[in-house]
Chains A and B, each alone.
Chain A
């Protein structure tokens, strides 16, 4: 509980910084104006541009952190993450097809396609996982799924007649929460809340899976239902994140990793802290993307990948060593 409160405080500080700081420097009186006068220009910058963006980053980060923690618990694998397992890639494929077909303007089309892709990938992984004796081997299928999703997305580019569409899809794929507004957040909130509820419900099952499939099956818990909740929940969260922000890698991997020691490795207790850690990571990364001086604004997905990939290598190294022992 203390961990959760601590993380909440850090998240609030990160959100305050993300709303307060940005490309446009504001003076003290302008901050006062922003709080006092909602119609003023500084208020527009803070509440209509920065705040939705910061909240979108928090929502996407929390969704990915929770999805990652759930997948890691389900597969008993510290390397599992929506990106590594290919769920993000298939979700992005769904969204890319919709954008390339010029349907992005229709309300909910991109979101629905991203969710459908994530759920399809989640279902496929579940079927495969049930047939594997070693949950670790699922990572290999994830790599393949990720590659297939990427290849199919490249095919969408290849066949797309318009370079404008291509640029649009590519820009979206790099991952960003820029220019998100309150209505985007509202649309994302529904699947995110359902997904989060499903993941949190699976917590006791994830903890039981620590002892392996057979012991869990004999434990008295309704494991097939808990497993379905975990898969559907993490797929919904991943789809929500992809719909809102494109492909953002490694947050789902890193967030559980950061909190695991504080919950004594318990996959059930890691869920809420992982969501908060994911939100903190992404709000901070987006702030960095905005304030790091560069000719073009850095894309959020690029920033997380730059920091996340070395972390992935580190976790993989440690995990490989513990399997050998």
Chain B
């Protein structure tokens, strides 16, 4: 089967600095891949590189087998949809209009129907007409997630979709992304919460200083060594009746990764 997305020896230079080096990974349909790492470790750059938003200085990024730089804008959008970390919205559009932007080629009526049902799925049926700037941060995050879902793209790329949300909403976001993967889609998502990442992802890519330390199932990726190298933490993944938890404290050596 063709990979949903892949990076082969990908490197990225930004302002003369090597932000990402020699990263190779592949993502299969039906899979949720988490990207974890300290601030500045290259998580966002990895996602942008995969989507062709930043130019690679070396290596290759592919979406569904095609080099991303060779795809037209429309072809790229039909293969992958992106939810950036920045949730600011320029104008106070009603929620459904923002969600409908995920399907710009649909007839307005159909786009509206899809937007309304996507909002309903996220428990936002009552806020369809509410202006997005008038919403709380959590509500707006869900509206933007709904926009990602109505794109219908087989690959969803979400940069910290759980940041700033309450615990229940964090689980909900990850469940929704998971249900997309269960229906054959592929999801790549950057996360700061290691416990959330360990519980909701099939595999984790651990980044430190722009390099990939590990890309493996959570138990194999979040080893004590990886926690130390990537985060400067002393700890490990432990199991609890409610699921796995990353138990850790600051290491005596401080953060060894990142700038």
Contacts and interface: CB of A to CB of B under 8 A. Distances in A.
Interface of A: 76, 135, 204, 207-212, 214-215, 217-223, 264-267, 322
Contact of B104 (A208, A214, A264): A208
B80 A219 contact: no
Contacts of A214: 48, 53, 82, 84, 86
Nearest to A205: B104
B78 interface: yes
Interface stretch (B1-9, B15-23, B27-35, B90-98): B90-98
Contact of B86 (A135, A212, A265): A212
B127 interface: no
Interface stretch (B69-77, B178-186, B233-241): B69-77
Nearest to A264: B94
B97 to A, nearest CB: 6
Contact of A221 (B73, B80, B89): B73
B214 interface: no
Label chain B's interface by main secondary structure. Answer: mixed
Given A212-B84, A212-B86, A214-B84, A219 B104 contact: yes
Q: Contact residue range for chain B?
A: 20 to 34
A210 B73 CA distance: 18
Contact of A208 (B76, B80, B83, B101): B101
Nearest to B51: A218
Interface in B109-129: none
Contacts of B73: 217, 219-223
B85 to A, nearest CB: 9
B78 A220 contact: yes
B250 interface: no
B90 A212 contact: yes
Q: Closest 5 A-B residue pairs measured CB to CB?
A: A220-B77, A76-B90, A265-B91, A218-B82, A265-B92
Contacts of A267: 90-91
Given A265-B93, A265-B131, A211 B98 contact: yes
Given A218-B53, A223-B73, A210 B91 contact: yes
A210 B53 contact: no
B43 interface: no
Contact of B77 (A209, A219, A264): A219
B91 A220 contact: no
B147 interface: yes
Given A218-B51, A218-B77, A322-B133, A211 B82 contact: no
Given A76-B91, A218-B82, A222-B73, A210 B131 contact: no
A221 B82 contact: no
Nearest to B83: A215
Contacts of B131: 264-265
A204 B73 CA distance: 15
B166 to A, nearest CB: 20
A210 B90 contact: yes
